[in-house]
Structure 1
Amino acid sequence: MDTQVQNFAVANLRRRPVVVETGGFVAGFDPGTASPYLNYATPLPGAEPTEQDVAALVAAFRERGLMPRLEFAPEAAPGVVPALRAAGFETEAVHEYLVCTPSGLMVPPAAHAPGVEIPETDEEYAALDAALAEAFGGVFAPSAEGAARLRRIQQGGGAVRFVRPPEGGCAGVASCSPPAEDTAELGGVGTRPAHRGRGVAGAVTAAVTAAMFAQGVGSVWLEYSGEGSRRVYERVGYRPRGTRLYLSLPRKQRL
């Protein structure tokens, strides 16, 4: 699964508005934001970069005023980590990833789950982006660009689903990328604090996962941020399959 997830990461970055490929790396950039979570690189499976390859990758970030940063499944490219460490890259995080297959999906009973909808209007996409901003504690601010990215996911072959509370707006949302390499990445699952503990996250996770399986995708994978969210995903049918590594080059190493 590591190689499949890594092949997906490569294909997904190649969808970005600006793509740079150099020395066994693919870097995807979004000129609409400086967020490190939307501007990063990943290696090709089996890549064995040289010192010069890493330097060229760093230069691609420097010329855009961005922090050099990578996300990847290390077991799919074991020669990459030593080369990056030698250049001064440090670990941001190591995340376990979970995988769900069609036979393992467990959809919550409709009688016990909140209703899930597909966004359609600009107002709904803006409400979803605002809900994610609140759910993630202000890591990013709601924006027109964020709402537009959610719309592009839904209209580009991925899936976006949300729960509308009685007072309107958005209680929680989940999105899944368009598929590649017979898999897709589920991300951006967030529930507003006032609506947590009501099955919202499980309902939207199951809905986007089912939407991708309806397209014929063989698996969906995700990363989780804590044991609470892991339990939500496991109840839907996700199971651990590997790890993903996040590396970045500290500012002192980029002067």
Structure 2
Amino acid sequence: MDIDVQRFTVAHLRRRADALETAGFVLGFDPTTTSPYVNYATPLPGATPTPADVRALIDGFRQRGLVPRLEFEPDAAPEAAAALAAAGFTPEAEHTYLVCTKDTLVVPSRPAVEAPTGEDDYLALDATLAEAFSGEFQSSPEGAERLRRTEEDGGAVRLVRAADGSVAGGAQCSAPAEGTAELAGVGTRPAHRGQGIAGAVTAELARVLLHERGAASVWLEYGGEGSRRVYERVGFHPRGTRRYIRLDA
């Protein structure tokens, strides 16, 4: 069983500005946002939580006014998955994740990919991603700051410019932990899709993490068969699944 991604998730959440560890779980919070996609928890690999442990997990979210939510590899903590289901957590989604290594990576020659050069670039990229994801989140100075922190903390942020100098698309990748890194938020403005931007940004971020930041692998999740084909063309291949669950009651 490959649980590198689950171990990564534990380590990644422990790096949060507000991290809380209860029996069997790590909760990671970012005080600058209430987004459930940023504020979530994960079980420790092999955890066997009791009902009291699950209640403590729930309390950690409720005390912050947040929806209890977890992301994890179900095979890495099957007893935790059962305990959470018994407590009323319900599935939100289950995604296949893809993994890239130095041996599988293919970096296209075009379009040109670059790192942000200052605050204006981070703000522009945050606005680009908000548009690309159809308003799932609003662009904000806090969102731009999270992108900047990703770069400063050992991860990477990359973008592609349109002909007029504006930001057409981009993405980010976390700093490595447990030998791997998570690539996320690959987005392109609708007017610039079909130009190879997503593949180029994904490949360049993987190259930076694998060859410059010390990661042995980079992983990501995809949102549809079209995006899966983009990622597979640059060297990402299916490895396992991650489950998202939440407690709305």
SS, match of residue 102 in structure 1: coil
1:81-100 matched pairs, under 5 angstroms:
81-100=81-100
- In structure 2, the partner of 1:234 is 232
- Residue 173 (structure 2) aligns with: 176
Q: Distance in 1 between matches of 2:40 and 2:166?
A: 32
Of 125, 128, 134, the residue aligned with 1:128 is 125
Structure 1 contact 49–79 (Cα < 8 Å) conserved: yes
Structure 1 vs Structure 2: percent identity of aligned residues?
63
CA contact (8 A) 2:176 2:214 kept: no
Moved over 6 A (4+): none
Does residue 185 in structure 1 map to residue 185 in structure 2? no
The separation in 2 between residues aligned to 1:161 and 1:134, in whole angstroms, is 17
Aligned length: 248
Q: Does 1:20 align with 2:20?
A: yes
CA contact (8 A) 1:50 1:83 kept: yes
Q: Which residue of 1 aligns with 2:221?
A: 223
- Find the aligned partners of 1:247 and 1:37 in 2 and give their Cα distance: 11
Query: Residue 103 of structure 1 aligns to a residue in which SS?
Result: coil
Name the aligned partner's letter for residue 246 of structure 2: S
Q: For residue 59 of structure 1, what is the amino acid of its counterpart?
A: D
Correspondence for 1:249? 247
CA–CA distance in 1 between the matches of 2:76 and 2:85? 17
Give the deviation of 1:216 after TM superposition: 2.6
Q: Deviations over 1:58-91 (max 9, x none)?
A: 0111111100000001111111111001100000
Q: Which stretches in structure 2 are left out of the alignment for 5+ residues?
A: none
Q: Indicate the residue corresponding to 1:50 in structure 2.
A: 50
| TM-score when normalising by structure 1 | 0.96
Cα distance in 2 for partners of 1:63, 1:32 equals: 16
TM-score, with structure 2 as normaliser: 0.98
Flag structure 1 segments of 5+ consecutive residues without an equivalent: none
Distance 1:177 1:208, change over 3 A: same
- The RMSD of aligned alpha carbons is 0.8
Q: Distance in 2 between matches of 1:29 and 1:223?
A: 21
Letter aligned with residue 175 of structure 1: Q
Deviation of 1:2 (Å): 3.6
| Aligned residue type for 1:248 | R
How far, CA to CA, are the matches of 1:181 and 1:119 in structure 2? 27
